[in-house]
Amino acid sequence: SSDAAISPDGKYVVYILDEGGQRSLWTRQVATTSNVQIIPAADVQYTGLVFSPDGNYINFVKREKADAPPALYQMPVLGGIQKKLISYIGGGAGYSPDGKQLAFVRGNTLIIASSDGTGERILASLQRPDMFRSEAGQQPAWSPDGKTIACIARGGVANSWKVVEVQVADGSVNPIAAQGWHFIRRIAWLEDKSGLLILGADKPSSRSNQQIWRISYPNGEARRITNDFSDYVGMSLTADSNALAAVQSSRLSNIWVAPDGDAGRAVQIKSGGSNLDGIRGLAWTPDGRIVYYSLAGGARDIWIMNGNGSGQRQLTVDPGRNITAKVTPDGRYIVFISERGDRTTIWRMDLDGGDPKQLTSEGSGYNVAVSPDSRWVIYNAERLWKISIDGGSATQLTDYTAREPEISPDGKFIACEYREGDDSIWRRAIIPIEGGKPVKTFDLPGSRDDFRWSQDSRSLFYRVTRGSASNIWSFPLDGTPPKQLTNFKSDEIFRFDWSADGKQLVLARGTTTSDVVLIRDFR
């Protein structure tokens, strides 16, 4: 399951079941443990599950295909007709205590509407770099007395996620706690307004990324409720705050090498398990070694090993998070993203981990790209930017939001994800290496991120999960149909990279297990 919600009276739990890329909605009666499917399985994305205060309806955000905008729907808790309430909404909507209004975020504004979706009005806006967040169930939470609305927000630097409260009377915005968080996924008020529950991570070096916390109100003191090696990706409270439904998730990842992408000849070279090897970074060096992300040293670090899995050695030692390593084509440097102090910045280091050098001073996203001549690094900080491999001043490449840059081997183009405004959806684009407007836009079916160029710069490789297995596909840019390249029968592919000669495919493969759990006596 990727999300779950418990009814106000605690009698029912509605959850999303994800099986092989097909998602369905189910209602479970807590007392009898019986389950009823209320929406059949389909290639549809769901998030933001919220019960109506009377417990009769379940609201959810649905996206029917990759290029369709998400919308808020409502249906009876035991099944029935789905009713569309609000279009262009990403993270879900929170009910007022009386059930008559909804609060949701669109772009960088907090909006209030009637519970049937009509009568939208803007209550508050934030000024960049501060932004309201509204992805993957990050819906606002209306306080029990109806006077304030808690929202998830983020500043322009690392570890700057925070919870803010917006006064319903005048739209004024104030932080609830001074502490900056590494990430916040979900918030919920306790019924007596003595505090909130937060599902998130307090620091990037936490081995387990997302746990459940109690934040006292109004002083904002944090106390941990869960403390284990799982991630929590969903959270919901009963009306009396005596029971909590949460989605507990664990992931295992191992590193494989497949000659010519042949699944039949694939060999597991590294058993990472819960160390999540390769899941946030995996790349070949020109001399056939593999640079990879791992938790094996107790923190999020970058490691290197030989192409057969021998000679494993940790390269980064900073206590922050080090991810998304890319090797320069000349084999001199590893370029990576690091969260040190209160900022996310781009760094380079020698191939042996020596002589680390900070290249940028501003925040960036989760991917970097190195030019074929090894002279330039392209990264995203809201827009796409270019900076010398030796640092210095950065040059802006786009005037629109873009991320996940990948440079073609011929050095002429950048493939990336982009969107034209806060309300628009993410699409793929090809832009000139000099920057500017896209020369081609498209969608990669079944793929969310992590794509690579082919050697001839004519196709993009991407991953698709169907049934119980992920595979790599090729997407020709000339408009011919996509083609499946690998034929794995099991396991997800989390990350992959082709060697420079195109003969070796390295993959981080494994499983994700998610269970809905009930937690009591946590106060």
Give the domain ranges of the chain: 4-247
pTM: 0.86
Beta partners for residue 454, in sequence order: none
pLDDT at 272: 82
Question: Which residue ranges in the chain fall short of pLDDT 50?
Answer: 206-207
Question: Does CATH number 2.30.42.10 belong to domain 4-247?
Answer: no
Asked if residue 285 lies in contact with residue 328, where contact means CB atoms within 8 angstroms, the answer is: no
Spatial CA neighbour of 59 closest among 25, 34, 28: 25
Phi, then psi, of 273 in degrees rounded to 5: 55, -130
Cα gap 56→58, rounded to integer Å:
7
pLDDT at 206: 47
Asked if residue 405 lies in contact with residue 368, where contact means CB atoms within 8 angstroms, the answer is: yes
Asked if residue 505 lies in contact with residue 461, where contact means CB atoms within 8 angstroms, the answer is: no
Q: Which two tokens stand for residue 449?
A: 């991120």
Please name the amino acid found at residue 243.
Answer: A
Within a 10 A sphere around the Cβ of 325, how many other Cβ atoms?
A: 25
pLDDT at 344: 80
pLDDT at 230: 83
Beta partners for residue 406, in sequence order: 415
Cα gap 521→523, rounded to integer Å:
6
